[in-house]
Structure 1
């Protein structure tokens, strides 16, 4: 197993990879040809499960009605090649009842892996635990429904999981940017996120222009994460599905050790889909531990020699396994996704700016798409009105829980302005918990709170 060849993993490469590539190219050409006959040139339709289903029938499948699909395609043609992160108003039919701020919190589901990274004295096992934690969220991220874009000033908080206090906030509207902070006795997690997209017709590339840092408290170790890009296939035609081919790199900024894990692209007949392979390297870039698994199932590790081969007398050890998920769930939610979306698990004195309180999100959760669409339009219009009011007064928006820094971090997909957690939420939460009446999870009380992320009071009317 070659230590510096990220494309070689447990599934092999060489001859069989070449055969797979050839079949994949043939399938791609066939799909494009079918789309050309249908009048949708350039829209590739891929069946991630492979199979022998007729390509034209596959192209017609999807979550859209025929007339809606044709109308949406006509509207979106002009955006091909563009970043459509915030320039297109999307119908609620493609949304899930969750916001991007809540989706950021899903990374905390398997946070016990970060606890273990903090507890271990083995510097390479730290990266095994921490990189497995970073991989663990990809099963949740494969959902094909789009989360709501947060309103400027919107927040999401969680205080009832693994001793963690979590807060995220929408800190910018143009460009859309979010910041998040999570902390318990073992680690502190900080992220600034600014997604960049490229619309390709029937698919969209999503580039994670962000900075993710984890500080392990026992030794003050700082870990930096660079995830792979994501591609959403068959947005309009065919079965929508998600793939994240490329490298994930987690670097120990304190020691120089790093984990480099390669997410295999999905080939024809589903070859390589879900597979992740790579190594933990020391600062001299020598492989110390090999890692292999599937992001929708489990990850395992095994000590290796300088050539990347397993050490004699050692075996693969499982480090993470996916928890059981609800069957036939409408939005493909995990148990944890239901938990963070629930009013029953909201903390005491929930912030009025919390995502759970959004009327459009809640209406969609209750199955009322018409009301959800109206409420979404109303919130977006109020956001535009507040922007006009802010400009007329010569004010700038100031986030409540995060401060803009002078740091500009380069990423593989562009530079990023960095926001830093200012510590005020910890003070707020301590005061709220001390003053709150009743038990945590008072759903009836929480539902009575009116959603209010606005900087100016008259926007809430």
Structure 2
């Protein structure tokens, strides 16, 4: 499909679109032999003149931490390491993956515009720009916490959007074996203009000093005015310099947003980082009609802005038209340790949390909170405690022959194909709407101090009595 689109999209973007297969890679600096590690490379996206050893020692790791972590991780090279190993908190940010799912809602106004738009092609411009905005958050090199089974995240105070996400199942690492039931999160958001549903899991491939990340998920958005259904196929990501050197993220690949109702679609090419940073962050592509004819060209950078312009059948800009900016990243706090936007900080804040917050909410995680306060020792011990409690619950569940039952989402009979494997789909069951309405109408809301609420996603209340 992509190659056919590229052939049709001649002229203005032809060389850019076809460059995916020809682009040079970023500056590679092998540390093999220099530091006593076999098969490792440090990749500097800006190139530069530093020698490999100097570059390898940069980054957030102390040398003794690098040595220890590498000894632990080298046996996993070539493997999917999703939840397989216990990772040190030094590489984490004070946010769970469920909160990161909610970050997409920062620019929900773009999906509002898509719903209001009369032009079916501009509708796809707004929708695809909405999906691109999350990659600014993916630029961060810190890892979010894996959600605990039963963990939730809720948001009700942004642009009229009500958002709920839940961890529906997990892989749990134990000393002898690993459960291979895939970890999956489900999310649902809604306002007056759209309904957003996602079932999310990732597949990884650990390559020593880098990690390939494949998004095995299904994302569907229904626009309320006309009932149009949009489907997303996102590109993969690659994290470079995990242990040696300065960590950075690249997103080389293709994003496709399809109007399932009409057959129109957007195909966008995320350019891989080339020599001395050339092409880094760049996104280029077209909106096509159902006959796969280009109608609007799109260009920009996924960490900065996106623009569009009507085009002819050859993909060239139409005479008399101008490039129009559709989205630009919001201003962020200066010198923020975790490179958070103002919106990302609100996702962690209890001051902006819903009334009578669910006890399973990510904001209440003690490891996340300790890391936010820069207490790495406590964050590490709390993380270990939560993971051990999760393992203990798994043992009890298996001894009882029980399964974990998500609270706000139900497994469906749908199996969604993705470029990286099939996905079992979870669907929102509507119960959270009832819960939130009851909480918001309660008369004793003011009597609850959410800061004193203990994090509680657990299926079993007291392990000692189980």
CA-atom RMSD, angstroms?
2.2
Instruction: Report the 3-state secondary structure (helix = DSSP H, G, I; strand = E; otherwise coil) of the residue aligned with 2:441.
Output: helix
How much does 1:18 deviate? 10
Map 1:263-274 → 2, pairs under 5 A: 263-274=270-281
Question: Given the alignment, which residue of 245, 253, 261 partners 1:246?
Answer: 253
Map 1:13-412 → 2, pairs under 5 A: 21=24, 24=25, 27-28=27-28, 31-32=29-30, 34-174=31-171, 175-412=182-419
In structure 2, how many angstroms separate the alpha carbons of the residues matched to 1:128 and 1:415?
A: 28
In structure 1, how many angstroms separate the alpha carbons of the residues matched to 2:461 and 2:110?
A: 42
Structure 2 residue 452 is matched with structure 1 residue 448: yes
- Give 1:457's aligned residue: 461
Tell me, yes or no, if the aligned pair for 2:156 and 2:163 is still in contact at 8 Å.
yes
Name the CA shift for 1:16/1:195 in 2 (closer, same or farther; >3 Å).
closer
- Give 2:6's aligned residue: 4
Instruction: Report the 3-state secondary structure (helix = DSSP H, G, I; strand = E; otherwise coil) of the residue aligned with 2:47.
Output: coil
Tell me, yes or no, if the aligned pair for 1:7 and 1:264 is still in contact at 8 Å.
no
Name the CA shift for 1:290/1:18 in 2 (closer, same or farther; >3 Å).
closer
In structure 1, how many angstroms separate the alpha carbons of the residues matched to 2:112 and 2:347?
A: 20
Deviates more, 1:50-59 or 1:2-11: 2-11
Name the CA shift for 1:151/1:274 in 2 (closer, same or farther; >3 Å).
same
Name the CA shift for 1:457/1:166 in 2 (closer, same or farther; >3 Å).
same
Deviation readout 1:99-136 (Å, 9 max, x if unpaired): 00000000000000000000011110110000000001
Name the CA shift for 1:48/1:78 in 2 (closer, same or farther; >3 Å).
same
Deviation readout 1:77-99 (Å, 9 max, x if unpaired): 10000000011100111111100
TM-score for both structures, normalised by structure 1: 0.94
Tell me, yes or no, if the aligned pair for 1:35 and 1:56 is still in contact at 8 Å.
no
Tell me, yes or no, if the aligned pair for 2:162 and 2:189 is still in contact at 8 Å.
yes
Tell me, yes or no, if the aligned pair for 1:3 and 1:308 is still in contact at 8 Å.
no
Deviates more, 1:4-13 or 1:65-74: 4-13
In structure 2, how many angstroms separate the alpha carbons of the residues matched to 1:10 and 1:287?
A: 11
In structure 2, how many angstroms separate the alpha carbons of the residues matched to 1:283 and 1:15?
A: 22
In structure 1, how many angstroms separate the alpha carbons of the residues matched to 2:17 and 2:235?
A: 23
Tell me, yes or no, if the aligned pair for 1:154 and 1:170 is still in contact at 8 Å.
yes
Deviates more, 1:49-58 or 1:319-328: 49-58
How much does 1:49 deviate? 2.0
- Give 2:176's aligned residue: none
Q: Where does structure 1 lack aligned partners over 5 or more consecutive residues?
A: none
Tell me, yes or no, if the aligned pair for 2:11 and 2:314 is still in contact at 8 Å.
no
Name the CA shift for 1:273/1:460 in 2 (closer, same or farther; >3 Å).
farther
How much does 1:193 deviate? 0.5
Instruction: Report the 3-state secondary structure (helix = DSSP H, G, I; strand = E; otherwise coil) of the residue aligned with 1:109.
Output: helix
In structure 2, how many angstroms separate the alpha carbons of the residues matched to 1:421 and 1:7?
A: 42
How much does 1:335 deviate? 0.9
Name the CA shift for 1:11/1:272 in 2 (closer, same or farther; >3 Å).
farther
Instruction: Report the 3-state secondary structure (helix = DSSP H, G, I; strand = E; otherwise coil) of the residue aligned with 1:362.
Output: helix
In structure 2, how many angstroms separate the alpha carbons of the residues matched to 1:408 and 1:290?
A: 33
Tell me, yes or no, if the aligned pair for 1:182 and 1:189 is still in contact at 8 Å.
yes
Deviation readout 1:124-173 (Å, 9 max, x if unpaired): 01100000000011111111000000100000000000001000000001
In structure 2, how many angstroms separate the alpha carbons of the residues matched to 1:64 and 1:12?
A: 40
In structure 1, how many angstroms separate the alpha carbons of the residues matched to 2:17 and 2:337?
A: 40
Instruction: Report the 3-state secondary structure (helix = DSSP H, G, I; strand = E; otherwise coil) of the residue aligned with 1:344.
Output: coil
In structure 1, how many angstroms separate the alpha carbons of the residues matched to 2:111 and 2:404?
A: 34
In structure 2, how many angstroms separate the alpha carbons of the residues matched to 1:20 and 1:408?
A: 35
Tell me, yes or no, if the aligned pair for 2:164 and 2:188 is still in contact at 8 Å.
yes
How much does 1:38 deviate? 2.2
In structure 1, how many angstroms separate the alpha carbons of the residues matched to 2:377 and 2:366?
A: 12
Name the CA shift for 1:18/1:115 in 2 (closer, same or farther; >3 Å).
closer
How much does 1:243 deviate? 0.6
Tell me, yes or no, if the aligned pair for 1:9 and 1:277 is still in contact at 8 Å.
no
